[in-house]
Amino acid sequence: MAQIISTQLPRFGTALAISLGALALVACGDDAATDAKSAEPKPDAGEVNVYSGRHYESDAAIFDAFTKETGIKVNTIEAGGDALIERISQEGEASPADIFITADAGILWRADERGIFRSTDSAALEARVPSQYRHPDDKWFGLSKRARIVIYNKEMGLPDGLETYADLADPAYEGMICVRSSSNIYNQSLLASRIAHFGAEAAEEWARGVVANFARKPQGNDTSQIEAVAAGICRLGIVNSYYTARFIGSDDAKNAAIGEKFDLFFPDQDGNGAHVNISGAGVTKYAPNPENAEKLLEFLLRDETQKAFASGNNEYPVVPGVEAAGPIAAYSDFKPDALPVSALGEKQAEAVRIFDRVGWQ
């Protein structure tokens, strides 16, 4: 049965504020947060160069906390995941990159295919990250996770019988679905998961059925789908969980009003579970500071750092036992798909071909 989550939730502050509060503990260890100001930074201990596809202030605060504790300076370059892959590839052995961070296992897979990563032999990293959320040879590790879920217009209600991803292809839901383009990596990963579970033929049949149920031509990002569902342009939308939290927990009156107009649910709770993807990172092949890079990865996987890193984008911590923080915490009790996320990259090329064949633009 699908797990339905009501968005009638208590109002929260911003995820960034939660992140920074958690970082007070990260920076000063077991000492009280009030002692943080008196803590002296460590002597210079070198640097670590991070190429990041994430663009959040909370990440910068985490890196500052790492420098304060270790003395290792963190230099960052931010750009899109594919652009950074290309840059590291062009730089080759001369690349200053030590760590590549990106959102989506599919992009991590692309990076691995281009020879970006080296294997990292760290018992600490292996112990913290479940095998489902890391590369089979420990070339990259998940840092946070999110679910790709279904939202629906609250006034129109959840259509009868809609409980699974497979149901989205049912002709009964013709003209109801809003979703972004097939060129989006999140949709490619969702279809890749269906290929991994059910085979390419069944996945293509499903994608064809979903296309037949579109309310409009795919357009915009996940925020656009949420706004369209709230406005009644479509009854259903397929989005990443963290986008919904930006409305549910918003301090902005306009966004909060939109958040009151939709509800969400996690499909396949009696089956494989909701599709899950990750933000993740790995040490680069020619990293000039590999030891510092490994230290930073281990820091990012500490309990309190996990809360800050994940809540900075309204995601879920990847380390078992670490609770989600911020608006996302109110709907973190769901069954996730146990499929190793490495499969999302492995099936990516076939997913793109299927999208082309079925006319998912």
The class that CATH gives domain 13-145+277-323 is alpha beta
Note the pLDDT tens digit of each residue in 298-339: 999 999 999 999 999 999 999 999 999 988 898 899 999 999
Hey, where are the domains in the chain? 13-145+277-323, 147-275+340-358
Averaged pLDDT, 260-280 = 96
Other beta carbons within 10 Å of 46 = 12
Q: pLDDT, tens digit, for every residue of 200-226? A: 999 999 999 999 999 999 999 999 999
pLDDT for the residue 85: 97
- Residue 147 scores a pLDDT above 70: yes
Write out pLDDT tens, residues 163-203. Answer: 999 999 999 999 999 999 999 999 999 999 999 999 999 99
Strand partners, 103: 279
pLDDT at 83: 96
3-state secondary structure of 9: coil
- CATH number of the 147-275+340-358 domain: 3.40.190.10
Contact (Cβ atoms closer than 8 angstroms) between residue 142 and residue 280: yes
Of the candidates 262, 216, 209, 213, the residue with the CA atom closest to the CA atom of residue 239: 262
Domains 13-145+277-323 and 147-275+340-358 are alike in CATH topology:
yes
Q: What is the pLDDT confidence band of residue 17, given thresholds at 50, 70 and 90? A: very low
pLDDT band at 129 (very low <50, low <70, confident <90, very high): very high
Per residue in 187-221, is it b (16+ CB within 10 Å) or e — as a string?
Answer: bbbbbbbbbbbeebeebbbbbebbbbbbbeebeee
Give whole-number Cα distances, 297 to 15, 48, 213, 306, in Å.
22, 11, 43, 11
What's the pLDDT score for residue 10?
Answer: 36
